[in-house]
């Protein structure tokens, strides 16, 4: 299995060690599990293929609001 070296400050290492102990894992397994969670895809396969697949007129972009309805800005 590939290995990785990390250079971190002692405060961060203490936090990692405490979290790993709470989860009853070794520091190596705790770091590996959290890195996998971070780099995992957050959307299911095919999620972005659905873009534009709903035909609903209520999902159209609203018209631009005329600028005269805007409130004056006060410079502080």
The pLDDT tens digits of the residues spanning 20-67 come to: 999 999 999 999 999 998 888 788 888 888 887 888 877 778 889 888
Residues 52/57/58/61 CA torsion (nearest 10 deg): 70
Kindly state the greatest CA–CA separation across the chain: 64
pTM over 0.75: no
């Amino acid at each position: 299995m590939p290995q990785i070296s990390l250079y971190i400050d002692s405060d961060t290492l203490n936090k990692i060690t405490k979290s790993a102990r709470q989860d009853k894992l070794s520091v190596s397994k705790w770091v590996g599990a959290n890195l996998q969670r971070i780099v995992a895809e957050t959307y299911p396969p095919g999620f972005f293929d659905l873009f534009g697949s709903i035909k609903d007129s209520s999902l159209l972009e609203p018209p631009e609001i005329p600028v005269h309805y805007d409130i004056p800005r006060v410079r502080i």
